[in-house]
Amino acid sequence: MLAAVAYAAGPDRFIALAFNLPEHLARAADALLHRLTFATFDLIRALAIGLFAIFLALSAMAISRGQKGAVAVVVVSVLFLLLVREPGYAGATRWLGALLLAACGAGVMTQRLARSGR
């Protein structure tokens, strides 16, 4: 197999290809990680926005059933907007914090709605 590759590439270029292979593999791995990083960042942003919308819907349901929730809507909304207020892309840790904040808010509202159904 190695002889076939050396014959196909040519003996003079085979040595150069063999020495450059680790560098090419490293560049390919770096490009893959770079693409995955942006995909993960976009996923975190989408989840944070989606969970915030779910939190708002659950809060509206809880308020319509006469439960406390207006203060939570104001507090979570202000904190969410403070975390992601930068135009364009805010830092990934800010979006992760916004995701956790929206998840906690949605979880609290889900518990309130579950208790009111009993």
Query: Could you tell me the pLDDT band of residue 47, with boundaries at 50, 70 and 90?
Result: very high
Least confident of 4-8, 18-22, 82-86, 92-96: 4-8
> Residue 46, SS3?
helix
Query: Could you tell me the pLDDT band of residue 54, with boundaries at 50, 70 and 90?
Result: very high
Burial of 66 (0-12, 13-18, 19+ CB in 10 A): exposed
Residue 88 has pLDDT above 70, yes or no: no
Task: Please report, for the chain, the start and end positions of each structural domain, with discontinuous segments joined by +.
Answer: 2-116
Predicted structure pTM score: 0.69
Q: What is the pLDDT of residue 20?
A: 78
Q: What is the pLDDT of residue 12?
A: 73
Q: What is the pLDDT of residue 87?
A: 64
